[in-house]
Amino acid sequence: MSNHFPVNRDLFNEVMVPNYAPSAIIPVRGKGSRVWDQQDREYIDFAGGIAVNCLGHCHPALVSALKEQGDQLWHLSNVWANEPALRLAKKLVDNTFAEKVYFCNSGAESNEAALKLARRWAQEVHGTDKTQIISFEKAFHGRTFFTVTVGGQAAYSAGFGPKPGDVVHAQYNNLESVKALISDKTCAIIIEPIQGEGGIISPTDEFIKGVRQLCDQHNALLIFDEVQTGIGRTGDLYAYMGLGVTPDILATAKALGGGFPIGAMLTTTEIAQYLKVGTHGSTYGGNPLACAVGEAVFDTVNTPEVLNGVKAKGKLFTDALNAINEKYNVFSEIRGKGLLIGAVLNETYQGRAKDILVAATAEGVMTLIAGPNIIRFAPSLIIPDADITQGMLRLEKAIAKIAK
């Protein structure tokens, strides 16, 4: 293939819809937790493609699963089942509360399926007026029109016309606000076991258990959006396992494919029966390529070594961030769980998360933000300790420049 035009950042402005504003650098290859751009500059990846690249870049088990399946079967359609999808579903069921799996391609789609199933279940079991969905302020559940309406950031759903109805928002970690909204007309509460985009906010024990009890009292389903927290991110296979609360439906995606697009909705046999033939579907959902890669990811992550490693590496991260903070006093709090970490900027540095991200990129480390005041980290679950140390030295240089 020959190109007769330069492939650079200017080309983005020429050919892409302007809903993103990517960095000037264009990464071209990655290995482990390091990435190289067109100029062959090296970056340490603390972003993980937003909690997606859970085994870093080009992990041998994933590359080999992709190549092997690429020589066998890519796509059929759901007129037929396929072996990789059945194997992955069996592993998900065997290792979680779930008994049934529905495959799709993304987090938004897995949440969409969860919300549609909850509505469907409520209609069939309890009648037509049980339609209310309770979500939370600052929640993020995807960008389809249903999921963005359910999400708790009005800016993302504004300007697109009339929204899906009967969706209300409580306050995260405020059980009274949930009690004020819930009734026997509530069909589901959807919640992130750690609010991601909303600022890396963990639930209190009383809150998350209280939400489960309220669902039980009012015959409502509890949906866990584990798109960002699932597949080992918190040090448990799924975050619900570390909270002592079991949802009725769980959405998973992001890390499930390690970088290959895949999503899944997990639920019980009792609830699953309401998505009967023809009620929901996805052309690519459960395709052999995605499921073969997903199975390799699952087998690699779901081991005591990797999951315990996440907890240890999370501590290295927070220790390093605290050490930086002792020198430069930029953070008011370091929060999160496992390798989903938020460093909250203090009063002096309000609104400067993006500036720090840009400065960090210039020093050769990729980070994320969660709103204007939080630096977010979601690196590979198996990032070598040496890369954490090296990446933190680079981050410290960036912060030193901003602090000046």
pLDDT digits (tens, 9 = 90+) for 153-166: 988 999 999 999 99
Task: Decide: residue 136, CB within 10 A, 0-12 exposed, 13-18 middle, 19+ buried.
Answer: buried
Q: What is the pLDDT of residue 165?
A: 95
Cα(367)–Cα(376) distance, integer angstroms:
7
CA 54 to chain CA centroid, Å, is: 11
Q: What is the pLDDT of residue 4?
A: 80
CA angle 373, 376, 379 (to 5 degrees): 170
Cα(142)–Cα(3) distance, integer angstroms:
35
Cα(396)–Cα(50) distance, integer angstroms:
21
Q: What is the pLDDT of residue 2?
A: 65
For the record, the structure tokens of 8 come out as 């650079």
Residue 86 has pLDDT above 80, yes or no: yes
The number of residues in the chain equals 404
Taking only Cα atoms into account, the Rg of the chain, rounded to an integer number of angstroms, comes to 21
What are the pLDDT digits (tens) for 225-264?
999 999 999 999 999 999 999 999 999 999 999 999 999 9
> What single string gives the DSSP state of each residue in 38-49?
TT--EEEESSHH
CA 127 to chain CA centroid, Å, is: 33
Cα(305)–Cα(92) distance, integer angstroms:
19
Cα(335)–Cα(318) distance, integer angstroms:
8
Report CA-CA distances (Å) from 156 to 105, 141, 161: 21, 11, 12
Say if CB 373 and CB 350 are below 8 A apart.
yes
Cα(362)–Cα(392) distance, integer angstroms:
14
Strand 365-366 relative to strand 42-45, pairing: parallel
What are the pLDDT digits (tens) for 274-303?
999 999 999 999 999 999 999 999 999 999
What are the pLDDT digits (tens) for 336-382?
999 999 999 999 999 999 999 999 999 999 999 999 999 999 999 99
Residue 99 has pLDDT above 80, yes or no: yes
pLDDT band at 176 (very low <50, low <70, confident <90, very high): very high
Report CA-CA distances (Å) from 229 to 27, 71, 239, 255, 256: 26, 32, 6, 9, 11
Q: What is the pLDDT of residue 3?
A: 72
CA 198 to chain CA centroid, Å, is: 12
**H helix intervals, 105-158:** 107-126, 145-150, 154-157
Place of tokens 């309406």: 149
Strand 42-45 relative to strand 263-267, pairing: unpaired
Walk me through the domains of the chain, giving residue ranges and CATH numbers: 9-58+304-403 (3.90.1150.10), 73-301 (3.40.640.10)
Residue 204 has pLDDT above 70, yes or no: yes
Report CA-CA distances (Å) from 24 to 6, 9, 259, 302, 394: 14, 6, 22, 36, 19
Strand partners, 260: 258
Contacts of 320 (CB under 8 A, 6+ apart): 388, 389, 392
Place of tokens 């799924």: 238
| Phi/psi at 152 (5° precision) | -105, 30
For the record, the structure tokens of 193 come out as 């076991």
Say if CB 200 and CB 374 are below 8 A apart.
yes
Cα(372)–Cα(239) distance, integer angstroms:
26
In the chain, the amino acid numbered 231 is I
Q: What is the pLDDT of residue 323?
A: 98
Cα(317)–Cα(301) distance, integer angstroms:
19
Where in 119-248 does DSSP place strands (E)? 132-136, 167-170, 186-191, 221-225
Q: What is the pLDDT of residue 75?
A: 97
pLDDT band at 317 (very low <50, low <70, confident <90, very high): very high
Q: Give the number of other CB atoms < 10 A from CB of residue 27.
A: 15
Q: Give the number of other CB atoms < 10 A from CB of residue 78.
A: 15
